[in-house]
């Protein structure tokens, strides 16, 4: 029977992680469970950086970006001997189950750990990239898209005022979700995403046609997964003038979480604890059809593949 749960955040930080930590902690307290927080992800687990959490520990964190537990990517956790050490730390702290908030990479580590030691694990998908298989939304994606959209809105002021072409690089690793959603929301003219090599000549042609018709500014969103944005943009610069680049970078990882991400964090945190109490011990929490689901962790380890062609077409039609 589960009496004590530990929670950690792993991989890149994402807005809403704190909301999930709060929800796990308070719902666990409500269920009379003990709860521990592990610092710096798997690294902190290996190093034994484990502290008890109470309902009070998670006061006033709902509106804060980042993660109060800190997060990291641990290379050590790839090695069996360190996972063994991690396991020993859990046992010594009388921890019966582990809730992990992170992306695919973290879920992969969690899955290996679960199988190796038969240790109960539940994963909450926390990443701005929205690229976890089996869930329609990950924690942090909505905030990141809103942040990227705000940047597009701002850049558009200069692009329009100065008749310029802007390339804006957004995050998303190998996925194009942030690029497609923020471009559609921000009214950008085009996107370049990893799944489809950009037709430079075609884009240049459209920009030139636009200029002839009087449309003199243009915003193109580039997903980081495409590769070297600056190299790509140089290519464009050979054919068209007044080209600029902005790399949003870590700006889109921070900030107070949006209402949806706070909501999602609250619901997923609660359902994660319920799943453990319901003996689901190698599972992930997803958001499908407007509600939380519990599904096998192994199905969440993969990157989500989704064809974004229809969004790509909409962006072309609507601008």
Q: How far is CA 205 from CA 210, 236, 240, 313, in A?
A: 8, 11, 10, 17
Asked if residue 218 lies in contact with residue 210, where contact means CB atoms within 8 angstroms, the answer is yes
Q: Does 294 bind its own copies (CB under 8 A)?
A: no
Query: CA triplet 83, 69, 248: central angle to 5 degrees?
Result: 105
Cβ-based nearer residue to its own copies, 70 or 206: 70
Cβ-based nearer residue to its own copies, 93 or 319: 319
Site string for its own copies, 106-135 (x = CB under 8 A): ------------------------------
CB of 252 to its own copies, least distance (A): 8
CB of 197 to its own copies, least distance (A): 25
Q: Does 151 bind its own copies (CB under 8 A)?
A: yes
Q: Does 22 bind its own copies (CB under 8 A)?
A: yes
Binder among 75, 94, 196, 250 for its own copies (CB under 8 A):
250
In the sheet with 165-170, reading across from the earlier edge strand, the strands are: 190-192, 218-223, 165-170, 243-247
Binder among 2, 204, 247, 294 for its own copies (CB under 8 A):
247
DSSP code for 240: -
Cα distance between residue 111 and residue 93, in whole Å = 21
Please report which residue ranges of 55-140 form alpha helices under DSSP H: 80-92, 104-117
* CB neighbour list of residue 154: distance below 8 Å, 6 or more residues apart: none
Instruction: Quote the tokens at residue 54.
Output: 């109470």
Cβ-based nearer residue to its own copies, 63 or 115: 63
Residues found near its own copies in the complex (CB under 8 A): 9, 12-13, 15, 22-23, 26-27, 30, 40, 62-67, 70-72, 136, 142, 145-147, 149, 151, 153-158, 160-163, 166, 181-182, 184-187, 244-251, 253-256, 258-260, 262-263, 266-267, 270, 288-290, 314, 317-319
């Amino acid at each position: 029977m589960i009496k004590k749960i530990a929670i950690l955040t792993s991989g890149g930080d994402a807005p809403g992680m704190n909301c999930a930590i709060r929800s796990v902690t308070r719902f666990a307290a409500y269920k009379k469970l003990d709860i521990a927080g592990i610092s710096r992800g798997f690294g902190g687990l290996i190093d034994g950086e484990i502290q008890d959490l109470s309902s009070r520990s998670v006061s006033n964190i709902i509106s804060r970006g980042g993660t109060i537990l800190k997060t990291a990517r641990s290379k050590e956790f790839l090695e069996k001997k360190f996972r063994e050490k991690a396991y020993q730390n859990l046992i010594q702290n009388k921890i019966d189950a582990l809730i992990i908030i992170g992306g695919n990479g973290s879920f992969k580590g969690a899955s290996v750990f679960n199988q190796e030691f038969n240790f109960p694990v539940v994963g909450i998908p926390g990443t701005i990239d929205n690229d976890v298989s089996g869930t329609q939304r990950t924690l942090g994606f909505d905030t990141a898209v809103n942040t990227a959209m705000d940047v597009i809105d701002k850049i558009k002021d200069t692009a329009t005022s100065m008749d310029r072409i802007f390339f804006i690089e957004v995050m998303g690793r190998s996925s194009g979700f942030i690029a497609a959603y923020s471009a559609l929301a921000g009214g950008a003219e085009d996107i370049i995403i990893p799944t489809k090599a950009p037709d430079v000549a075609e884009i240049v042609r459209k920009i030139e046609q636009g200029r002839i018709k009087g449309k003199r500014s243009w915003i193109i969103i580039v997903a980081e997964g495409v590769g070297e944005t600056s190299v790509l943009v140089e290519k464009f610069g050979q054919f068209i003038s007044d080209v600029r680049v902005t790399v949003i970078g870590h700006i889109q990882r921070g900030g107070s979480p949006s209402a949806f991400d706070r909501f999602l964090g609250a619901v997923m945190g609660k359902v994660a604890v319920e799943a453990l109490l319901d003996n689901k011990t190698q599972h992930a929490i997803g958001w499908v059809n407007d509600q939380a689901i519990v599904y096998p962790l192994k199905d969440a380890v993969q990157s989500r593949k989704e064809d974004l062609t229809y969004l790509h077409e909409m962006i072309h039609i609507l601008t």
